[in-house]
Structure 1
């Protein structure tokens, strides 16, 4: 392999990884009752805990007015609630509710079932090969993502230096 081929290897790997992620997401995401941003916001709250609305908007890459509307819709559905910040009573945080957690769990069950059905359509040797590839790739991808930017988290009041 010459030097120019090696220079293309990371780009080819990046393209294949992006295509794989995109194909899987398209195949298993049910958008009938919830947008990707809505599901991502709920999952972030479940994973990282209560957060400021402004921090959620930044983390999800949407404008604050859009996040405000999204949170209001989630509140009406009983999936999130606003809570006082225990560190600063003047600040309100958004938190996922038990109903929100249950909805996320059900969506994950449906996703996993859909993937299992798709896998079952492959011959046994291809299922095994894909399983081995994923078990090899997952820890590498996690390490790559953590190493690139450190663990992603929402800024807190202390990170941003503001109270709202």
Structure 2
């Protein structure tokens, strides 16, 4: 393995570890009682809805029965709305309810505040380095 390849692998490994741990800490400290799947499903419905259950399951890379159980939990909380699919009377379309919009806004605000408290502990040079790295990190999200 070349030195450049080893350095790239080390960077990738460190970044994976930091992002994963930071995400877990945000979830833990963020105070949301939504499981990662429930929260992800809400975000997906918000961004891509209205969706059928099968479409949501495919986007979340889970089986239809798993998504059906998740939707039952979301229904129980009143955060999704099911409406008949005009293209297929046997199907329903899922959208966020006003309560779902409120829950997502609250979770995002809590996660942002939690992350801000962590950023406030950094020295100015570290914060500046993170700000400079944001375009590169955002580019990693591009498909």
- TM tier relative to shorter chain: 0.7 to 0.9
Query: In 2, Cα distance between the equivalents of 1:104 and 1:19?
Result: 26
Q: Can you list the C-alpha shifts for 1:32-78, whole angstroms capped at 9, x where unaligned?
A: 51101110000000011121212222322323222111111111211
Are 2:140 and 1:141 aligned?
Answer: yes
Segments of 5+ residues of structure 1 without an aligned counterpart are 147-164
Partner of 1:60: 60
Query: In 1, Cα distance between the equivalents of 2:71 and 2:120?
Result: 38
Partner of 1:102: 102
Deviation at 1:86, TM superposition (A): 3.2
Moved >4 Å (runs of 4+): none
Deviation at 1:5, TM superposition (A): 1.9
Count residues with an aligned counterpart.
Answer: 141
Deviation at 1:11, TM superposition (A): 2.7
Deviation at 1:9, TM superposition (A): 4.1
Partner of 2:130: 130
CA RMSD in angstroms comes to 1.9
Partner of 1:38: 38
Segments of 5+ residues of structure 2 without an aligned counterpart are none
